[in-house]
């Protein structure tokens, strides 16, 4: 490829932190791209490094609590009354 396109380069590895990669056949300025790339906003870094992992932990905790609640509700046997009579439904 270098023989056919001597100005070809990989764009995005250094410029965008490797999140987007392009093979450009000429300089980035020819395509209207900044030559030194763009700065990744702090909000994106915050989301990727802090908010998303906390959301995953919260989701896992919620799933765990749901399993524990299901176990307590369906698996454990109900206690019998003092008289040994099972009462179903409401007041008769």
Domain definitions of the chain by residue range: 9-75
Give the per-residue pLDDT at 6. Answer: 80
Give the per-residue pLDDT at 26. Answer: 82
pLDDT tens for the chain, 92 residues long, are 667 878 787 777 665 656 677 788 888 888 887 776 667 788 988 988 899 999 999 999 999 999 999 888 887 666 655 666 666 665 55
Taking a C-beta distance cutoff of 8 angstroms, is the pair 17, 8 a contact?
no
Burial call 58-87: b when 16+ CB within 10 Å, e when fewer: eeeeeeeeeeeeeeeeeeeeeeeeeeeeee
**CA separation for the pair 42, 58 (Å, rounded):** 23
Taking a C-beta distance cutoff of 8 angstroms, is the pair 22, 11 a contact?
yes
Q: Enter the pTM of the model.
A: 0.44
Give the per-residue pLDDT at 60. Answer: 97
Give the per-residue pLDDT at 10. Answer: 78
Could you tell me the two tokens for 43? 């909000």
Give the per-residue pLDDT at 82. Answer: 60
């Amino acid at each position: 490829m270098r023989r056919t396109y001597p100005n070809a380069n990989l764009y995005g590895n250094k410029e965008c932190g490797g999140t987007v990669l392009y093979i450009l056949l000429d300089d980035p300025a020819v395509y209207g791209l900044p030559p030194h790339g763009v700065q990744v906003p702090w909000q994106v870094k915050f989301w990727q490094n802090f908010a998303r992992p906390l959301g995953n932990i919260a989701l896992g905790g919620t799933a765990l609590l749901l399993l524990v609640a299901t176990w307590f509700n369906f698996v454990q046997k109900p206690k019998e009354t003092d008289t040994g009579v099972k009462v179903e439904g409401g007041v008769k």
